[in-house]
Structure 1
Amino acid sequence: MKYATLLLAGSLLAVSCQQKGSQSNTRASGDTLHQLAERYYEGNMALQPIQATFNGIMKYNDQLPVDIGAPYRHKADSFYAAYQEALKAIDTTALSGNDRITYDMLQRELSLNREALTYHDYLMPVQQFTCLPITLAQLGSGAAAQPFKTKKDYENFIHRMEGFSIWADTAIANMRQGIATGYVLPEKLVIKTLPQLQALTKKDKDNVFYAPLKTLPDSLDAASKQQLATDYTAAIEKFILPAYSRLYTFMQTEYLPKARKTSGIEGIPDGKKYYEFLVRSWTSTSKTPDEIYATGEHEVARIRGEMEAVKNSVGFKGDLPAFFTEVRNDKKLRIFKTPGAILDSFKAIENKIMPGVKKMYGHLPKSKFEIRQTEAFRAASASAEYQPGNPDGSRPGIFYVPILNAAEFPYTGMECLFLHEAIPGHHFQFSLQQENDSLPTFRRFTWVGAFGEGYALYCESLGKELGLYTDPYMYFGRLTDEIHRAIRLVVDVGMHHKGWTREQAIKYMMDNEPVSEHEAVAEIERYMAIPGQALSYKIGELKIRELREKYTKALGDKFSLPAFHDELLKDGCVPLSVLEQKMTRFYGQ
């Protein structure tokens, strides 16, 4: 998932001090809880302006706070503490089922956010997968959430570029503190950040920050366009290029020699405790790392059994590792010549499944949907991903596909990938959540990884019901994706809790699924960069599948799959414990 979405799992949100005084006059009623939740969201957006931009709130588009600095973090903690006190005045016995969800989610988010502030991730603010330097480049490309339609839009981003220059200097100071105290990135991750940063230091048209200069507003006359282009170019060359150059030079010359050799987060001073926190945050359960590891091993063994059956069905005579090699290298499974052909193939999958999707879901999203190739500057380290659109329809939901070499792009995983990232996976979940204006605003835009990623993985299992996976290699692709998520339970816990090395994790992945070494390295290094996030998929999917099977068995012929899906999605992302409670209320059992 994207940077902004990832932040919502443990978002470090803040608000100005003058707002705190209004939060204690709280009476016990549902309406008061609604008001409290709205004030909380408004305060969050005021001092998390990049998230506000992604959420379609444009009044903060010129702002970029130093969210890794001590003053910001102090205000954030004060903000959470004030709302925790306000929540204590709410009489929970008087709340409706939906209001109880709001209460429980707000209470959980405030608690997690305050706990997150006790750790030291701010001393490691740059990595290759998701961080502000990457997100700012996406915004600055003109192809993401930041609008570039008017002169004011361009001026707004000039202010953000100026703010990034200050942020970059704070990041360098923080990383120097990290070097002194043992809070540093693994060496392999630092190496991956260097080409990303270097590409954004270049003063040429291929630097993504220059892209908005190609689409200056048509409403301006020629002289005004020229002046805006001059001012915008000057800002890039005054703030952006030097800031990225300082980051690049620091990380190459000063930080890389001090990077740690360990792979897991347990390699930093409070890493083991921090990982336990991240497991709770990302899975929204009380499961321990060891329990999750055992679940992963069980799931890997089960799915390998299904893979054996597919291997035998296509007449392959060797063992499963040999079949992995065959699938990896078989040129018949590489059918594309151009990126456009790949995007067209994904569009054909959409057209094929939509009649069946409409029978599975009673409520479909209104938001538009597009399929795009991932931008070149980040494609090498990117996974396929979904970025939500705006609720007002001004920006569609976008399924991004990284294509480094079309001739090497395998078709076998395309069907399940589309079901997960696009329809009916992330596009339905995000869009229906944002479009539901009966939810408090903070719930319309919140993210709980175990639900959101668990639901998307569950959607992959719908393929046969939607007429997909008729090709055994496509079904093997589905099993490959499923075992990939099961492997994550093993390798993530292995690296961050059991002392595994990066190389051990890469070998385990390659032994159990048909990925290339390049693909395995990119995945394992992603888990190194974002500890715990990869656990959310399989843990959430297992819970959703468990609930569907429970109510299918209990209701028999009376079970309605559209009703199940509509109830599953209507309240947006919720923690898994809350999900179970709300489904029990809906079905009365």
Structure 2
Amino acid sequence: MTNHMTRLLAGVSLLLAPALVGAAPHPAQKRASAARPANNADARFRTLSEAEYKWRIDQNAADEDSGSAGSKQLPDEGPQAQAARLARWEATAKALDGIDPATLSPDARIDYMVYKGQIDALLAAQRFRDYEKPLTADTSFWGNLASWSRGSFTRESQYRDYLAMMRAMPRYYDQQIANMRAGLARGFTPPAITLKGRDIGVAQVVDGGAGDDQPFYAPFRTMPATMPAAIAAALRAEAKAAIRDDVLPAHRKLLAFLRNDYIPHAQVSTAAYDLPDGKAYYRSKIREYVTADMTPEQVHAIGLSEMKRIRARMDGVMKEVKFKGDFAAFLTFLRTDPQFYAKTPQELLDRAAWFAKSFDGIASDWFGRLPRSRFAIKPVPEDLAPFYTAGRGGTGIYLVNTYDLPSRSLYALPALTLHESAPGHAFQMPLAAENKDLPAFRRDSYLSAYGEGWALYCEALGEDMGFYKTPYDRFGMLSYQAWRAARLVVDTGIHALGWTRAQAQAYLHDNTALSDHEIETEVDRYIAWPGQALSYSMGQLAFQRARAKAEKALGPKFNIRAWHDAMLQLGYVPLPVIEARTDRFIAQGGKGPYPDEEGS
């Protein structure tokens, strides 16, 4: 998932009345607001939410890998725009408080819960001035724009939008630099250790010059054959002028700022608690990414409990393969034996494609409704790969990191593929976007606890589906499960409980089969992005509890395809709605949301 979309559109707090959760409707029916005139409270809520959401989308640029709607122009990140966002979300929060959820229709109550959580998270981020820290360990505002250069343009209008984006870079970069200077002045930056080498992507743009080798010129190298030659020539000329006059100056200025000011003077501490008003800031991130008001200590304890449970299963696999040695020796074997690693980047991509296609063959056994959208499998771009995760997925894309092949184990690739491609992100996200019965803020606004929880649930689902063909594949899945449970321990440890970076790395090294390179990049990701790592296991646990509840209540009437459809029909919702929807599923006798489909 992209940091751009997550930061701006995610986050649901559960500081709402329990009655909201208990009122979950049966989604097999058309939404009440579409079937009959809304009541007065519904109408007030719809008017408020639709106007604000349209305004919110207009505030943001659309980057190529987010899959989100947005303005084709770069957003205004200046002080007046930031003040306007704060005022708008404060006014929206006040207006929401003036609507009694009990007076809303059942559909609108769920929408209210989702929407209010988004406003709570957006308002908190604005009050803490998150915009003064517009980067994490592997994402950045300049990286989001660079993703446009890797897009596939087919129409003149797309090229025009791209040209407008490049021409706006000087203004946009100046605003971002000013915000980062303000953050630097008050000690609100990513930790310095996570910024090492982050100037590489900017330097590549500068070094590319204004010629055909410039990364931002990539879309113009090969243009559609259907485009008239005169128009193509004019667009190419405009692109070279924009690169010379706007792109290169903006990147030179940013590069000097990063190298001379920002990176050398970034905060030394790795703890969110050491940021300005750090304890409150980190608690706000827990609320945003866990969709519950929990303390770091509570989350930490859940992580330790999950690690104990998963470790017992990992020990069982080690005995199954009759390994002679202790757990540490087994991990060393997995990290170093050549049989577990691809020899070329293409081999790794080919294996990922094989696993993705293998799921296609069994998808209809586990899901009644499949997305219309397809996805591509591509390597992580070279400028990002050294800092990037093993893979990342979303609408239309499954990125596989082919950098440092000895750190990319094949036994973990099946689990990674289920998480990032289908039935994980590249499956769930299109289903949400294609569900036109939901308001846009539930289709498009990524909620990490739901989205990452679902993707991690899909990794474990692979065991039910018979997807893991060897004990080592199963251990890879368990190692990934332990990795996400360890995030609950490590993230809270670093940001609230005094853990060092080395201590966090050691914990992952001793309890998962992740390579040392992956461990380093992962820990730096948690350090630079407080709270986000908590969403995975907490979301997965919600899905697992709900499914177990339905299986127990329905017995032989439980239909896994119908339950999966019911979960994916929700769009993006806070975790209690998963249980509430499951309760409704049970009350309906296990009937799924698409009764016209066979098997549901």
Shift of residue 568, structure 1, vs aligned partner: 1.0
Is 1:82 matched up with 2:91?
yes
2:154 corresponds to: 149
Shift of the alpha carbon at 1:123? 2.4
1:2 is matched with 2
The counterpart of 2:338, out of the listed 319, 327, 331, is 331
Q: Does the 8 Å CA contact 2:462/2:468 hold for their aligned counterparts?
A: yes
Following superposition, the deviation at residue 33 of structure 1 comes to 3.5
**Residue of structure 1 aligned with 2:256, choices 249, 255, 259:** 249
Match of 2:74 in 1: 64
Where does 1:477-516 land on structure 2 (aligned, <5 Å)? 477-516=476-515
CA distance in 1, matches of 2:5, 2:262: 28
Aligned pair in 2 of structure 1 residues 309, 424: CA closer, same or farther (>3 Å)? same
Amino acid aligned to 1:288: T
Q: Distance in 2 between matches of 1:333 and 1:387?
A: 23
Distance across 2 between alignment mates of 1:9 and 1:502: 29
Residues 9 and 282, structure 1, Cα contact 8 Å, conserved in 2: no
How many residue pairs end up in the alignment?
Answer: 561
Give the Cα–Cα distance (whole angstroms) in 2 for the partners of residues 311 and 296 of structure 1: 22
Out of 192, 195, 200, the position equivalent to 2:197 is 192
SS in structure 2 at match of 1:81: helix
Superposed displacement of residue 53, structure 1: 9.2
Deviation at 1:332, TM superposition (A): 1.3
Shift, 1:406, TM fit: 4.7
Aligned match of 1:358: 364
* Correspondence list, 1:5-404, <5 A: 5-10=5-10, 28-50=40-62, 54-55=66-67, 57=69, 60-61=71-72, 63-67=73-77, 69-88=78-97, 90=99, 92-143=101-152, 148-204=153-209, 205-334=212-341, 336-389=342-395, 397-404=396-403
Contact 2:63 2:147 in 1 (8 A): no
- CA distance in 1 between counterparts of 2:56 and 2:472 reads 46
- 1-structure distance, mates of 2:399, 2:180: 31
Name the aligned partner's letter for residue 500 of structure 2: T
Q: Relative to structure 2, which stretch is displaced further, 348-357 or 291-300? A: 348-357
Aligned-pair CA distance for 1:254: 1.8
Shift of 1:368: 1.5
User: Match for 1:166: what amino acid?
Assistant: R
Q: Which amino acid is 1:106 matched to?
A: Y
SS in 1 for 2:571: coil
1:542-581 residue pairs with structure 2 within 5 A? Answer: 542-581=541-580
For residues 310 and 98 of structure 2, the distance between their equivalents in structure 1, rounded to whole angstroms, comes to 49
Task: Check the 8 A contact 2:199/2:258 in 1, yes or no.
Answer: yes
Q: Distance in 2 between matches of 1:193 and 1:5?
A: 20
2:416 alignment counterpart: 417
The 1-side partners of 2:101 and 2:136 are apart by 42
Deviation at 1:255? 2.2
- Structure 1 residues 206 and 492: CA distance shift in structure 2, 3 A: farther
Please state whether the residue corresponding to 1:531 is helix, strand or coil: coil
* Aligned residue identity for 1:278: K
Query: Conserved in 2, the CA contact under 8 Å of 1:141 and 1:210?
Result: no
In 2, the alpha carbon distance for the partners of 1:474 and 1:181 equals 47
Which amino acid in 2 is paired with 1:108?
A: G
Distance 2:289 2:407 in 1: 33
Letter in 1 for 2:149: G
What CA distance in whole angstroms lies between the structure 2 residues aligned with 1:484 and 1:247? 35
What secondary structure, in the 3-state scheme, does the structure 2 residue paired with 1:462 have? Answer: helix
Would the aligned equivalents of 2:407 and 2:516 in 1 still touch at CA under 8 Å?
no
Structure 1 residue 70: Cα displacement: 1.8
Kept in 1: contact 2:137–2:529 (CA 8 A): no
Question: d(CA) in 2 for partners of 1:81 and 1:36?
Answer: 13
Identity of aligned residues (%): 35
Q: What amino acid sits opposite 2:280 in the alignment? A: K
User: Using the alignment, how far apart are the partners of 1:87 and 1:272 within structure 2?
Assistant: 27
Unpaired segments ≥5 residues, structure 2: 13-37, 589-600
Structure 1 portions without partners, runs of 5+: 13-25, 390-396
> Shift of the alpha carbon at 1:366?
1.3
Q: How far 1:86 sits from its partner (Å)?
A: 4.0
Question: Residues 339 and 403 of structure 1 are in contact (CA less than 8 Å); yes or no, is this contact kept in structure 2?
Answer: yes
Amino acid at match of 1:83: T
Question: Which structure 1 residue ranges, 4+ long, deviate > 4 Å from structure 2?
Answer: 8-12, 51-58, 88-91, 204-207, 384-387, 405-408
TM-score with structure 1 setting the length: 0.90
Please state how far the C-alpha of 1:460 moved relative to its aligned partner.
0.7
| Shift, 1:386, TM fit | 4.5
Who is 2:593 aligned against?
A: none
The answer to whether the 8 A contact 2:59-2:76 is kept is no
**What do residues 325-351 of structure 1 show as CA deviations (whole Å, max 9, x unaligned)?**
1000001112x3333332222222233
CA distances 1:502-546 after superposition (whole Å, capped 9, x unpaired):
121111111111222221110011111211000000001011101
Cα separation, 2, equivalents of 1:575 and 1:514 = 31
Larger mean CA deviation between 535-544 and 111-120 belongs to 111-120
Contact 2:86–2:127, Cα closer than 8 Å, also in 1: no
Return the offset for 1:153. 2.2
CA shift, 1:470, in A, is 2.4
Note closer, same or farther for the CA distance 1:117–1:47 as it changes in structure 2 (3 Å cut): same
The answer for the alignment partner of 1:21 in structure 2 is none
Measure the CA separation in 2 of the matches of 1:337 and 1:440. 47
- Paired letter, 2:140: C
Inter-partner Cα distance in structure 2 for 1:375 and 1:529: 21
Deviation of 1:472 after TM superposition, in Å, equals 0.8
Q: Which residue is equivalent to 2:520?
A: 521
- Residue 223 to residue 362, structure 1, CA distance change in 2 (3 Å): closer
Q: Distance in 2 between matches of 1:516 and 1:578?
A: 36
Correspondence for 2:22: none
Q: Give 1:35 deviation, angstroms.
A: 4.2
Q: Amino acid of the residue matched to residue 120 of structure 2?
A: S
Query: Structure 1's 553 and 6: CA in aligned 2 closer, same or farther, altered over 3 A?
Result: same
- Rounded to whole Å, the distance in 2 between the matches of 1:568 and 1:221 is 47
Shift in alpha-carbon separation, 1:183–1:65, aligned structure 2, 3 A: same
Is 1:460–2:459 an aligned residue pair?
Answer: yes
For residues 393 and 315 of structure 2, the distance between their equivalents in structure 1, rounded to whole angstroms, comes to 35
Q: Contact 2:4–2:141 (CA<8 Å) still a contact in 1?
A: no
1:274-318 residue CA offsets vs partner (Å, 9 max, x unmatched):
011001100101221101101111111221111111111112111
Q: In 2, are the aligned partners of 1:8 and 1:447 still within 8 Å (CA)?
A: no
Whole-Å separation in 2 of the counterparts to 1:456 and 1:74? 36
More RCO (CA 8 Å, sep 6+): 2
Q: Please say if residues 412 and 474 of structure 1, whose CA atoms lie closer than 8 Å, have aligned partners that are also in contact.
A: yes
